[in-house]
Amino acid sequence: MSDKADSKEEKNKFEMARRSFLRGIGMSAAATAATPAWGGQTFSDAFADFFQKHYQRMSAEEIEEALERIERKASLRYGVKIDCANTPPQEGVVFGYAINISRCQGYRDCVDACVKENNLGRDSQVQYIRVLQMDRGDTNLEHSEHYYDPAEVPVEGKYYMPVQCMQCDDPPCVKACPVEATWMEPDGVVVVDYDWCIGCRYCMTACPYWARHFNWTEPEIPAEEMNPDTHFLGNRPRPRGVVEKCHFCLQRTRKGRLPACQEACPTGARIFGNLLDPDSEIRYVLANKQVFRLKEDLGTEPKFWYYSD
């Protein structure tokens, strides 16, 4: 009988030891999950990041959590508090753009504004807009000069043509992506899920307008220059190793504002608006001006026109 009592006591001791052991594991797991690892990010955040679903498959709740993770990551990486939103596209809106190449003087104010608005890495070469200096009378892009740097623009005998993502209606990049990380949203903008892209760069090969750019390195953005109003599919800080491109400033345009490039242009060469609104300026341009699109013969159906007057 004492054996029985002894064994019961032993059993209790064992039970208590087991419980405290499990409790210890549980606590250290929770502590580990919360402790910074992976360059400062918590384990639970890193875990959730790794298994994050494709944007189009996430529930509203999951997107909210993803937005918060992005904000936390930005705070860790850049020391800035940002706000990441997921503004949906407006109904009855398809964005279009037109550039008046008689007005463009080649200032590159648009390029500069885009870099600042969209949190582009200052040293990573990524610039969504590239302004080409062309010889007057010549439309051959191979004769263009990308790195013009005269004392003053415009240079005699040249004209200037900014090129950025054309937001094609039949985008070859969307077809190319093996993981569907890029697609066209209902408001016509071709977007990238930066947390889904695997960085194979096949879309860059497929784009006829050299509009897609790659983060060869981690983007460097000075904290004081960070734009805190961001969008998940737009200008939120991007990681290394993914492709990005012009998204018509989703974070602004989905709220009714004009894109940064249009605002920055001092000559009013840029016209932006809703292609589905018959009274918009862009529709007036298409109906009344001599518009053309680049590489029309490739059938990509860009939503980006050029005209001169």
Partner 1 sequence: MKTKRDQPDFGYLSKALNAGAGLASAAVIASFFLLSTVRAQDATKTDEMIRFEGYPGAPEVEVVPRKDELFFFPCDQCHASMEPNPEIRPLDTMHDTGIDHGRGRIWCLSCHDFEKRDYLRTLLGEPVDFDDAYIVCGGCHANRHKDWAFGVHGKRVANWAGTRTQYNCTHCHNAHSPAIPARPPKPPPPVRAGLKRERDADHGESSTNSTEQE
Partner 2 sequence: MAVIRFIYDSGREMLRGPREYWLWLMILSAVVAYGAFRYAEQLSTGLVVTGMSDQVSWGFYIANFAFLVGIAAAAVLLVIPAYIFHRKDIKEVVLVGEGMAVAAVTMAIMFVVVDLGRPDRLWHMIPFIGRFNWPTSLLAWDVVVLSGYLVLNLAIPFYLLYTRYCGKEASFRLYFPFVVLAMFWAISIHTVTAFLFSANPARPFWHTALLGPRFIASAFASGPALIILTLEIIRKVASYNVRQSVIDTLALIMATAMQINLFFVGAELFTDFYNEGAHAASIHYLFLGLDGFNSLQPWIWFALTLNVTAVVILMINPLRANPVYLNVACVLAFIGIWIEKGMGLVIPGFVPTPLGEIFEYAPTGVELSVAAGIWAFGVLMFTLLAKAVIAIEQGKLRYSGNSRSALL
* Interface with partner 2 (CB under 8 A): 50, 54, 57, 125-126, 130, 132, 140-144, 146, 163, 172, 175-181, 196-202, 204-210, 213-218, 239-243, 295, 298
CB of 75 to partner 1, least distance (A): 25
CB-CB contact of 207 with 298 (8 Å): no
The distance of Cα 139 from the centroid of its chain, to the nearest Å, equals 30
Report in angstroms how near the CB of residue 134 gets to partner 2 at its nearest.
Answer: 10
Nearer to partner 1, 237 or 273 (CB): 273
DSSP bridge partners of 108: none
How far is residue 119's CA from residue 218's CA, in Å, rounded to a whole number? 12
First to last CA, the chain: 108
Q: How far is the CB of 253 from partner 1 (least distance, A)?
A: 7
When asked if residue 250 is in the footprint of partner 1 (CB under 8 A), the reply is: no
Partner whose footprint covers residue 240, from partner 2, partner 1, none (CB < 5 to 8 Å by kind): partner 2
Task: Give residues 145-184 in contact with partner 1 (rule: CB under 8 A).
Answer: 145-156, 158
Task: Determine the Cα–Cα distance for residues 176 and 94; give it in Å rounded to an integer.
Answer: 23
Which tokens belong to 145?
A: 């000069």
* Residue 305 contact partner, candidates partner 2, partner 1, none, CB within 5 to 8 A by sort of partner: none
Identity of the residue, 155 or 298, whose beta carbon is nearer to partner 2 in the bound complex? 298
Query: What number of other Cβ atoms are within 10 A of residue 169's Cβ?
Result: 14
Contact between 39 and partner 1 (CB under 8 A)?
Answer: no
Please state the φ and ψ torsions of residue 17, each to the nearest 5 degrees.
Answer: -60, -40
Quick one: which of 24, 216, 228, 301 contacts partner 1 (CB under 8 A)?
Answer: 216
Looking at this protein, which amino acid is placed at residue 16?
M
Cβ proximity of 285 and 98 under 8 Å: yes
Are 55 and 63 contacting, i.e. CB atoms less than 8 angstroms apart? yes
Residues in contact with partner 1, total (CB under 8 A)?
54
Q: Is 192 helix (H, G, I), strand (E, B) or coil?
A: strand
Q: Is 100 in the site for partner 1 (CB under 8 A)?
A: yes
Tokens of 30: 């929770």
| Residues found near partner 1 in the complex (CB under 8 A) | 90, 93, 100, 105-109, 111-112, 123-125, 127, 130, 133, 145-156, 158, 216-217, 253, 256-258, 262-263, 265-268, 271-274, 277, 279-281, 284-285, 288-289, 309
